[in-house]
Amino acid sequence: MSKEQTTPESPAPLLEEEQEADLGRLSYRQLVWRKFRKSRLAVIGGVILVTFYTLAIFAEFFAPYDYQHDNVRLQYVPPQGVHFFGEDGFHIVPFLYGLKQTKNPESGELTYVADRSKTYPVHLFHHGDKYRFFGLISTDIHLIGSEGPFYLIGTDRMGRDIISRIIYGGRVSLTVGLVGVFLSIILGSILGTVSGYWGGLTDILMQRFIELLSSFPTIPLWMALAAALPSNWSGIQVYMGITVILSLLSWGGLARQVRGKVLATREQDYVLAARAAGASHWYILMRHLLPTAYSHIIVIATLSIPGMILGETALSFLGLGIRPPLTSWGVLLEEAQRVTVVLNSPWLLIPSLPVVLVVVAYNFVGDALRDAADPYAS
């Protein structure tokens, strides 16, 4: 017995200490990542976001059609199924039927019936609409496509493929949040830090201004600001204008949180120690206050991107934001405004699905980040 008690002493504690030392060398960021990874919802949210952003970045490749590819003879086509079994049995390559359009002579309503005499196989790496990849390489390869009417979730009033428009629209809708949040992070963290660190009259004035800003009803304010955008601006200019408007209105919350964090950190003993050593204000700000606020800023940013996305969607839905021919999820939903359209072509509402998914995914990620932001609390 005594042998057993003494022998494991030498190798075991060494191993344990090595492990402990290993953990001790993990930086704050590594600790946060360890904790973040453990949240299953966050991983799901992360996967959803990565998928959507990949789709948006390589929209030309993933979308079967160009977003402006219209076909007046195929308006309001309902979602088309992809078939494996035809009249002649099983096909390894899925295929589509052609479409026959009939018009109700009384109501003028268009209905489509599958034309079983025509079949079109679905191709991977299909040669479809031409595009320039990142404005550099001219090509016409799409991940998936067909010679026939390949409209998986239908077409809109101009006969444009909705799925392609969703993928392209994601470019605007997903980045308007990022750019907007980026701008409001810059505004919010600078003003919040100033307000918190210097305090006094600056602080009071700034806080009252933020209160004023946040007490304004948003929709009339959006309308006023959007009306201020010149109507002859191009789509890109309007887009930039919208991001600036959204960020100008949303920096207040972030500034407040940063201020609170700075106020709390300013009184920490390690800041006093730095001052006792003779560190300058600038050093303390850059070395202690901002890094401590970073995690907070990232969490707030992640949680406020959905707000930006919804803001863009709402503005565009009201016809105040992104204007056609540029497309975004809000623009797509704008087309689903009329009740008759929704009744006859409910697939026009599908663009709300990515909005919901992305917003929920951002919230999952943001929540997990917030929980992970303090990895030292056990």
Partner 1 sequence: MSDKLLLEVENLQKHFPIRRGFLQKTVGYVKAVDGVSFTLNRGETLGVVGESGCGKTTVGRSLLRLIEPTGGKVTLHTETGKFNLLELNQTELKRLRPRMQMVFQDPMSSLNSRMTVGDIIAEPLVVNNICKGKELNDKIASLLEAVGLRANDTRRYPHAFSGGQRQRIGIARALALRPDLIVADEPVSALDVSVQAQILNLLQDLKSQYQLSYIFVAHDLGVVEHISDRVAVMYLGRIVEIGETRRLFTYPKHPYTEALLSAVPVADPRVQHSRQRIRLQGDVPSPANPPSGCHFHPRCRYAAEICKREVPLLREVAPNVFAACHLASELKLQGVELLHTAPQEGK
Chain residues binding partner 1 by CB under 8 A are 20-21, 23-28, 31, 204, 268-270, 272-280, 283, 287-288, 291-292, 376
Tokens for 180, please give them.
């907007």
For the bound state, the minimum distance from the C-beta of residue 296 to partner 1, rounded and expressed in Å, comes to 12
CA distance 49 to 52: 5
Query: Any residues with CB less than 8 A from the CB of 102 and at least 6 apart, and which?
Result: 110, 111, 112, 113
CB nearer to partner 1: give 262 or 310: 262
| Residue closer to partner 1, measured from CB, 125 or 270 | 270
- The three-class DSSP label of residue 337 is coil
Q: Which residues pair with 119 in a beta bridge?
A: 97
Query: Minimum CB separation from partner 1 for residue 288, in Å?
Result: 6
Give the nearer residue to partner 1 in terms of CB position, either 284 or 336.
284
Strand order in the sheet with 83-86: 83-86, 89-103, 110-133, 137-146
Closest CA to 72 of 147, 146, 150, 160: 160
Rank residues 349 and 373 by Cβ distance to partner 1 and give the closer one. Answer: 373
DSSP state of 321: S
Instruction: Tell me 285's DSSP state.
Output: I
Nearest-CA neighbor of 222 among 246, 247, 244? 246
DSSP string, 32-51: HHHHHHT-HHHHHHHHHHHH
Nearest approach in angstroms of CB 164 to partner 1 is 46
Q: Smallest distance from the beta carbon of 193 to partner 1, in angstroms?
A: 16
Phi, psi of 26 (to 5 degrees): -75, 130
Peptide bond into 325 cis (omega under 30): yes
Rounded-to-integer distance, Cα 354 and Cα 345, Å:
18
